[in-house]
Structure 1
C-alpha cells in the first residue's frame, strides 16, 4: 500500500536545542548543492549531485513531495544560527511505514548531528504522523550510519544483498524503530 495522503510540515521546527529540522528554503540551496558533491555523501546515497537543472525548482519540488505524501524533505539546521548543517528525508512506503535518509555536511561531522536529527525525525514520524515503523537502511561498510541507528534505538532486522551501480553487490543492514519514542 503506497502512502497517498498529503503530509503537513511541522508547524514549528523540530528541535532539541542543538539541531532543528525544518522545511527547506531557497537560502539553503547553495549549501545543499555543494554537499551533494561531497565524496562521502556520494559514496552512501543514491542521489545524483545537484546540477543547474536540479537547483531550479528545488524548493517547489520539496513542497510537492509534502503535498503528494511521498516524502518529507527537511533541512538539518543549527538550532541557534538556523544555518543548514545537513539534510534529512522521510520517504513513505505506506501509511504506516517510512524510511529515513540523511546527510551531514563535511565540516559538521563528528558533532553528533546525525543521531540528534534522526531521533527528532523518528519521534515526529511515530508520534505526530502515527507511523508504526521507521526504517533506516545502511551499507554494512557505513559504520557511521550503523552507529547512528544503534544510538537512536533502532533494532537490526536483517542484512540483504543488492546490486550496486558500478560496485557489484553490496550488503545493506536494515534497522527499524517501532511506534515508541526513540531513546
Structure 2
C-alpha cells in the first residue's frame, strides 16, 4: 500500500550542520552504486547491487517513487562538501505510516551520520508530512542499526524470523516512533 496522494519532493535540503538530506542527483549515482557492492552493506540488505542497468534507470525510479507516493528517496550529504555519504529512504505504507531505511557509505561509517539522518528525516516526516507513525527495521545482529533506532527514540515493538535468499534464518527487530 502507498499514500493516496503524491509526495512533493523535498523543497529545500534538511541540514543539521554536519549533514544534509537532499534530493538525489545523477552525480550521486557513482557513489551509490559503489557502496551497493560493499560487503558490510551486502550483509544487511537483500537488494541486488546497483548494476549498470539499475544505474541507468535509477533517476526515473526515484522520480516515480516521489510521484506515485511510494517513497521519498534522499541522499545523506556532507554539509560542507555536499558529497554523498549515504542514502535514506522513507517508504510509505499508507497516508499515516512509513518505514525508514538507510545506509551509510563505508568511508563515512562510525561518525554518527545514521542517527543524524534518521533524526532529520523523522522530524520532517512526523512534522511537515504529517505522518503519525514511523517504523525502522534492523537485523538483530546489526548492532549499529539497533543503536541508531534507540538513539533516535524508536521503541522496539516486535520481531520476526524468516529465511533470506540464501535460506539462512535471521531475525528482524521492528521499532516504531510516533508524534510526541
Q: TM-score, normalised by structure 1?
A: 0.95
2:119 corresponds to: 119
Output aligned runs, 1:79-98, within 5 Å: 79-98=79-98
Residue 4 of structure 1: how far off its partner (Å): 2.7
**Secondary structure of the equivalent of 2:53?**
helix
Residue 57 of structure 1: how far off its partner (Å): 2.4
C-alpha distance in 1 between matches for 2:2 and 2:42: 28
Does 2:159 align with 1:159? yes
Q: CA RMSD in A?
A: 1.0
Q: TM-score, normalised by structure 2?
A: 0.97
**Secondary structure of the equivalent of 2:64?**
helix
Q: Is the 8 A contact 2:91 2:100 kept in 1?
A: yes
Q: Is the 8 A contact 1:135 1:176 kept in 2?
A: yes
Residue 167 of structure 1: how far off its partner (Å): 4.1
1:19 corresponds to: 19
**Secondary structure of the equivalent of 2:127?**
helix
Structure 1 residues not aligned, in runs of 5+: none
Q: Is the 8 A contact 1:4 1:70 kept in 2?
A: no
Matched residue pairs, number? 180
Structure 2 residues not aligned, in runs of 5+: none
